[in-house]
């Protein structure tokens, strides 16, 4: 059974009377890395936030282990919230600037593991900082005092500390220099291997998606054009649009 899936999801932004998603069904299996690719404005982030429970669909259902997310209550809902973690493009924007990075890591732990003592939570945070390649000393700094790449490592550490089943990474390296992009994506690949977490990897960069994912959904204007195995996209792509994306990324194929 899929860890996370959605069935016939439509999203209309009523203020604008704009249909951002049209009848989307997709799934993420245990340990699988699934990509969403498509041009800016096609609805990638909207789909990511609906399947991750941050936004509600106008129509359709989101399922977590087969259970309708809109019906989850109390403990079950909190478990879902903790199990699906996000990493965004702008990690600093999602961190309280008055907190030290240590506090940034410990705060969600404190909320989710209230039975653990403070010293234990700090120990876990420092250990995780090491695992994502940061020196423990950096945790005394504030978000605005570190580089974009370091902040993204903190965001990854913060997500991992909650032991998620699914990590939704929305353009999580787009704002970084190319060499730092590669470092962060390789860190995520390492995380994949070590934790067996599933990923929903959202990016407009097809090459990056293929480097990271098993399967990719190609989106255009709020719809899924097709879903392809990343290893043989060239052979399998049936739509004109996917062919164009492939051509943009790799030249004529």
Ligand X SMILES: Nc1ncnc2c1ncn2[C@@H]1O[C@H](COP(=O)(O)OP(=O)(O)OP(=O)(O)O)[C@@H](O)[C@H]1O
Task: For residue 33, state whether it binds Mg ion (rule: CB under 5 A).
Answer: no
Residue 91 touches which of Mg ion, ligand X, none (Cβ within 5-8 Å per kind): none
Task: For residue 89, state whether it binds Mg ion (rule: CB under 5 A).
Answer: no
Task: For residue 40, state whether it binds ligand X (rule: CB under 6 A).
Answer: yes
Q: How far apart are CA 184 and CA 171, in angstroms?
A: 12
Task: For residue 16, state whether it binds ligand X (rule: CB under 6 A).
Answer: yes
Enumerate residues 44-73 that contact ligand X by CB under 6 A.
44-46
Enumerate residues 177-206 that contact ligand X by CB under 6 A.
204
CB of 175 to ligand X, least distance (A): 12
Task: For residue 223, state whether it binds ligand X (rule: CB under 6 A).
Answer: no
State the Cα angle at 52 between 231 and 33, rounded to 5°. 15
* Residue closer to ligand X (CB basis): 109 or 218: 218
Do strands 67-68 and 59-64 pair parallel, antiparallel, or not at all (unpaired)? antiparallel
In Å, what is the CA distance from 30 to each residue of 49, 166, 199?
19, 8, 9
Enumerate residues 160-179 that contact ligand X by CB under 6 A.
171
* Residue closer to ligand X (CB basis): 32 or 171: 171
Interface segment toward ligand X; rule CB under 6 A; list 42-50, 69-77, 140-148, 152-160: 42-50
Task: For residue 5, state whether it binds Mg ion (rule: CB under 5 A).
Answer: no
Q: What are phi and psi of 39, to 5 degrees?
A: -70, 165
Q: Is 115 helix (H, G, I), strand (E, B) or coil?
A: coil
* Residue closer to Mg ion (CB basis): 18 or 250: 18
In Å, what is the CA distance from 65 to each residue of 6, 56, 160?
11, 18, 20
CB of 44 to Mg ion, least distance (A): 5
Task: For residue 22, state whether it binds ligand X (rule: CB under 6 A).
Answer: no
Q: How far apart are CA 95 and CA 114, in angstroms?
A: 21
Q: How far apart are CA 83 and CA 164, in angstroms?
A: 4
Give me the torsion for CA of 89, 94, 96, 100, rounded to 10°. Answer: -50
Cβ–Cβ contacts within 10 Å for residue 127, how many? 12
Instruction: With residue 248 as reference, give the H or E element that holds it.
Output: helix 240-250
Task: For residue 33, state whether it binds ligand X (rule: CB under 6 A).
Answer: no
* Residue closer to Mg ion (CB basis): 54 or 141: 54
CB of 45 to Mg ion, least distance (A): 3
* Residue closer to ligand X (CB basis): 12 or 162: 12
Contact call for residues 217 and 37 (beta carbons, < 8 A): yes
Enumerate residues 35-64 that contact Mg ion by CB under 5 A.
44-45
CB of 49 to ligand X, least distance (A): 8
Residues that bind Mg ion (CB under 5 A): 44-45
């Amino acid at each position: 059974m899929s860890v996370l899936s959605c069935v016939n999801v439509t999203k209309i932004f009523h203020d604008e009377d704009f249909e951002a998603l049209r009848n989307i069904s997709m799934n993420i299996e245990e340990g699988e890395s699934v990509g969403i690719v498509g041009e800016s404005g096609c609805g990638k982030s909207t789909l990511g936030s609906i399947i991750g429970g941050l936004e509600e669909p106008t129509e359709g259902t989101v399922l977590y282990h087969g259970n309708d997310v809109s019906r989850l209550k109390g403990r079950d809902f909190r478990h879902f919230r903790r199990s699906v973690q996000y990493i965004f493009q702008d990690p600093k924007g999602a961190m309280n600037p008055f907190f030290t990075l240590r506090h940034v890591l410990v705060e969600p732990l404190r909320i989710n593991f209230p039975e653990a003592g403070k010293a234990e939570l700090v120990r876990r945070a420092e250990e995780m900082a090491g695992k994502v390649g940061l020196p423990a000393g950096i945790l005394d700094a504030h978000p605005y005092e570190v580089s974009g790449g370091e902040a993204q490592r903190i965001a990854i550490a913060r997500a991992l500390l909650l032991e998620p089943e699914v990590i939704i990474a929305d353009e999580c390296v787009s704002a970084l220099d190319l060499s730092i992009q590669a470092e962060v994506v390789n860190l995520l690949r390492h995380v994949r291997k070590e934790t067996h977490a599933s990923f929903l990897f959202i990016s407009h960069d097809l090459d990056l998606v293929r480097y990271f994912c098993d399967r990719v959904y190609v989106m255009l204007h709020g719809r899924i054009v097709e879903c392809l195995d990343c290893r043989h996209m060239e052979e399998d792509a049936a739509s004109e649009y996917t062919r164009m994306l492939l051509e943009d990324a790799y030249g004529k194929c």
